[in-house]
Chains A and B, each alone.
Chain A
Amino acid sequence: MPHHGTVKSKALARALRGNGVPATQTALRKTALHAIHRSLGAKMVHFGGWEMPVEYGGISAEHMAVRTGVGLFDVSHMGDIQLRGPQSLDAVQQFSMNDASRLQVGQAQYSAMLTPEGTFVDDILVHKLSDNDYLIVVNAGTREKDHAWIRQQAQPFKGHVSDYSDFYTQLAIQGPNAVDVLQKLTDLPLGEIKNYWFRWGKVCGLYNVMVARTGYTGEDGFELYIPSDEATGARVWHELLAAGEEFGILPCGLGARNTLRLEAAMPLYGHEISETINVWEAGMGRYAKLDKGVEFTGAAALRRLRDEGGPARRLVGLEMVDRGIARDGYKLFNVAGEPVGEVTSGSPAPFLRKNIALAYLPIEYTDPAQSNEVWVEIRGAMVKAQTTPMPFYKRPKPAQGQTQ
């Protein structure tokens, strides 16, 4: 029998009322597509200060649509911060651990902003719009913090920092058929846009739409940045759904976005990365360009941490061996019953049909060459799991026009 009041377990009644955040606590933001989500019967949740659709007709179906066909997400909650001016590259190089000097116009780069301790302010996507113009896409829940941080970091450099988040409706069309659907609605030669590149072109009759071959699903796809008025958002949303009908397109919510990124082992801020987790622990050293010629914020700490012998704990992938689902915050134990770590994200994986999780474990459990057994405390019971290489899911082969 499960005992009372275990971690994360809730009475049905409470679970059904939402995530327990009182409605009066903060004014929730709504995207331009809010009325459409409601009319489609979406279940709404609070996420990062926003009221967002978590699912329309079932997380598993939406997840599968993206893996095998195509899905459409409203990701307008993401923040968009622009740096403009003669020293905007210097500013980006200061707060971004990756090397933005390698970017060409029209190219995007995954990176992170670090604290002076080498931990995460946020993970970001840097887009080079022109020689003196960069767009930084940041997480919804950290938008204000990130804006203030970028402002402060950019202060010594000539240029402007602007929060343009409210000017864009951001849509993500994802899945192996995303290219086929979007191609019907644009004259841009999508096949020529490589992974992590973007272009501007006409989409649904709108001029100058930024179309980026990016996403957060582990699948091919595009992200579109369109004007944030309701009428335009609604029109593009409906045209994409209509164009995708022949491929079985589904509108997809944050639930599927989370299970998709988890299968692809992409980190989520506040879970795998945070201000208490450093780059080495998160296994994101490949994005930290310590030799880029700019002493970026956090670089000194990263060097020191490396020279001190590397991290004591590391992010690992887990697969449940016995029956049970590891959830965020569940505790991990070794064979001797000693506590060794905690799950940062855990869920059933609808495409893989396994129960998977990401977790931090002491370095001795994280050798990717072998699988180590650990036990997850699930509502009072110890359930066996094993470490497994990441990502859990990798898409079969790149679509045409894609590079890895």
Chain B
Amino acid sequence: MRRYILHRLWQGAVAVVGALLIVFVAQRLSGDPVALLLPMDATEADFEAMRSALGLDRPLPVQFVVFLRDALLGDFGHSYLWNMPAMDLVLERLPATLELALAGLVFALALAVPLGVLSAVHRGGWIDNAAKLFAMLGQAMPGFWVGLLLIVFVAVQLQWLPAYGRGTVGHLVLPAIALGWYPVAAMTRTLRSAMLDIMQSDYVRMERAIGLPERAIVWRFALRNAAVPLVTLIGVYFANMLGGAFVIEVVFAWPGVGRAVVEAVFARDFPVVQAGVILAAVIFVVVNLIVDLTYGLIDPRIRHE
């Protein structure tokens, strides 16, 4: 197990550096950040001076090596725009993103698990049809649109919850629903499909034969076995929520990492983009490792060698 974890961490480190290299090259192909920093009337001399001050006048390979060296020493550079260390800028927004992603995940699971299980148990019934309709709507309606609808109806018309911002549990509800909306659909469908397979398996028939209550069969035994693909989805969506909640963060004025990094992409604020990519890549690696290790806990037949 220890060897497996070390091997996965090594693979993760290679993936992080690889992602960084791609982003490093791609963002430099996207244009000169100095054009965005200087006013329209700046001269070529002003451009050269600013490029030199930011270290952008060096050859690209030198810039990358210098960046990697500094990053290993814990220095991820200074934001061109915010005048502060890039990693600090990203990390200070991480709690907000974690909070939103966790809330979104809780919302998604709170809906997807009962819906997926009940629709499988009552296959063809009204619950199943309702769950399928819900799943279809979930995948057809983008989260930002759901967010705008929630703002218009729940915040403006009904005045039940705040329309934007962060601070109280009330502020968290609408963005969490908007963020968790899409995963609900995918999780429900996946869980329903897995439950349908499991419910027809021999051991479930055996459990029924020995007289176990149906509720225990469904919720204690079948759900545990059907949870493996769900855990995979949880890992994927949680990592996506952490790194890709940008649109929801903009809609609800939520001060998270995604919004900071995407704004940095448009502003060509290279150090912030790089810091954000490192953070996102590390999160993906760690979450996927946790998901892989969780398989063994759910299903003891799965062992990592």
- On whether the two chains bind one another, the answer is no
Binding site for B on A (CB under 8 A): none
